[in-house]
Structure 1
Amino acid sequence: MGATEWGLLAALSLIWGSTFFFVEIALAEVGPLTLVLGRVAMGAAVLWVVVLAMGARRPKGWRDWRDLALMGLLNNAIPFCLIFWGQQHIASGLASILNATTPIFAILVAHLLLADERATPGKAAGVIFGLAGVTMLIGPEALTGLSDGLLGQLAVMGAAVSYAFAGAFGRRLGRFAPPVAAAGMLTMSTAIMVPAALLAEGAPAALPSLAPLAAWVALGVAGTGLAYILYFRILATAGATNLLLTTFLIPPSAIFLGVVFLDESLAPTALGGLALIFAGLACVDGRLLRFARRRTA
């Protein structure tokens, strides 16, 4: 990767790390499902502008929109709802750490569902480290009953599992240009979230005040629309392996914003869990192991 790719990677990590911060602010006046609806709708609008400018092939027919609806459900509607609900009960930094387990669950899902994605020894070690980190994060609280804090953590972990299934299912969308797939799934996510938000939370009586509204707009326009544009740009020039580095970079930015601006704090067990999850991600990525082998050779 050159300087441009590293800059784009840092920008994407900061944007996605800041989404946990924006969610925390917006939840003060906006319900979680309504917040999801606004996020996916604004993200879809941004991406359709890009698709129309590209002149790319757009989805047509029942099969295209069915697959995009399933992808939108797994990659947007379900995980966003779980994360936003969970952040009502846990700190944004902790939510970002639990969200970082997505590649760990992706390995398990791919191993079970995809014949050409069997787990290697390095990936298996990554899963063990990652699950150990999750165990340390949740700690003995799991043995004392289902408190709001525990349910919030489980909700964010459920989002990571949903992302993992989305990764496996997303292979079926290879017939679309990436921005088209993203715009299509966000459009279908919007269609899914309109009745869900109205039935669960009703129509908003008024717009939120300036800070929650600004956070909401930033979440949709930057945290979704712009983020996907950067995502596909990095994917095209640096590849999927380098894109995995965002998983390492998102929690530090989310933790920093939560500590500085939201007066959050993390328990030592959370930091220990983060270290174990990062060790697992390092095993999955394999970069450090390859570097060590080259040095030894």
Structure 2
Amino acid sequence: MTTPKMTGGDWGIILFLSLLWGGAFLMIALGLRSFPPITLAFMRMALAVPFMLLALKYLGQRLPTDGRSWRKLFVLGGLNAAFPFMLFFWGQSYISTGLGSILNATTPLWGVVLAHLFTRDEKATPSRILGVLLGLAGIVVMVGTGALKGMTSDVLAQIACLSATVLYALAAIYGRTLSQSTMTPIVVATGQVFTAAILILPFMMVFDHPWTLPFPRWDAWIGAIGLAIPSTAFAYFLYFRLIDRAGASNAMLVAFIMPVVAIFLGVVALGESVSVKEMLGATLIALGLVAIDGRLFAKLAPRRSVH
């Protein structure tokens, strides 16, 4: 068995997700100006729920009513949102955005390994392993070695971010089993966000004491709302649809493209320049994506055999 092949539509979803989640790093930074990490994670989930429920109603769908489905949704909500968000938001409050993006980009690496161990149709191949390594190298080159200066300090924050990426990878694999059940992608996405909010709530009450916080700044509200609506409500629907169509490890390729999107947005919105290292990093990432996709190699292999 081989990993499901990517179509042009699948790549389109990945690129659009990279826009939504690439901008999430800025939204997190804004939100953390007023909200503690756990509170911000809760707001991201809680503010997204009403919009997702409205979308369900518009589409004529509803959340499941049986206990078995809800148990699965609570597992997914914990793996893909509640615990990784709390870990990553806390970690990003101590380390640089550049280092955070490098750590976040390890998600596909864990995904290839875990999918090989726990799935039948997403086994690791030499080209996929090579692609993951090329992609990680591209992220490091693009962000720059300066971001790695923090590797000797704030070790707990780095471990928290890496732990979050492992949970993301597990969630992508588990989420595919749910999306292939009787639950549709938007039902899975809505159930995950709803259960994640429930799971985060007691941690927020115990550790953040939100009733004692001063009134948040306006830019922090922009960050929280930006995380909740485009980067959660809309993005998760697309993400689970992509997992259902293209497989878990393919869906996690979005982690490679998000830093590229961040540079592009910096050039367009802030007038920043693109350096040689950023161009080289983007090239390595592109080569990694080609290797993981595998279609180019498959087309070239017969030609080599003829000669």
Aligned twin of 1:214: 222
Question: Could you tell me how far 1:280 is from its partner in structure 2?
Answer: 4.3
Question: Could you tell me how far 1:112 is from its partner in structure 2?
Answer: 1.8
TM-score normalised per structure 1: 0.79
Q: 1 CA distance for matches of 2:243 and 2:136?
A: 27
Query: CA offsets per residue over residues 230-272 of structure 1, 9 Å max, x none?
Result: 4456678x8559856634431112345579989x9xx999998
Asked whether 1:38 is paired with 2:46, we answer no
Q: Which amino acid aligns with 1:196?
A: F
Structure 2 unpaired stretches of 5+? 1-6
Aligned twin of 2:18: 13
Q: 2 CA distance for matches of 1:30 and 1:268?
A: 37
Q: 1 CA distance for matches of 2:150 and 2:231?
A: 36
Cα 1:27–1:194, aligned 2, differ >3 Å: closer, same or farther? same
Pairing 1:1-297 to 2, within 5 Å after superposition: 9-129=14-134, 147-148=153-154, 150-173=155-178, 174-175=180-181, 176-204=183-211, 205-231=213-239, 239=246, 246-255=254-263, 279-290=287-298, 292-293=300-301
Q: The residue matched to 2:23 in structure 1 has which SS? A: helix
Q: The residue matched to 2:64 in structure 1 has which SS? A: coil
Question: Could you tell me how far 1:151 is from its partner in structure 2?
Answer: 3.6
Query: CA offsets per residue over residues 174-194 of structure 1, 9 Å max, x none?
Result: 321110011001111000000
Whether contact under 8 Å (1:92, 1:254) holds in the other structure is: no
The aligned length equals 294
Q: 1 CA distance for matches of 2:279 and 2:89?
A: 22
Query: CA offsets per residue over residues 1-22 of structure 1, 9 Å max, x none?
Result: 67x8877654432111000111
RMSD: 3.9
Whether contact under 8 Å (1:110, 1:118) holds in the other structure is: yes
Q: Which amino acid aligns with 2:67?
A: W
Cα 1:269–1:100, aligned 2, differ >3 Å: closer, same or farther? same
Q: The residue matched to 2:88 in structure 1 has which SS? A: helix
Cα 1:84–1:287, aligned 2, differ >3 Å: closer, same or farther? farther
Aligned-residue sequence identity (percent) comes to: 37
Structure 1 unpaired stretches of 5+? none
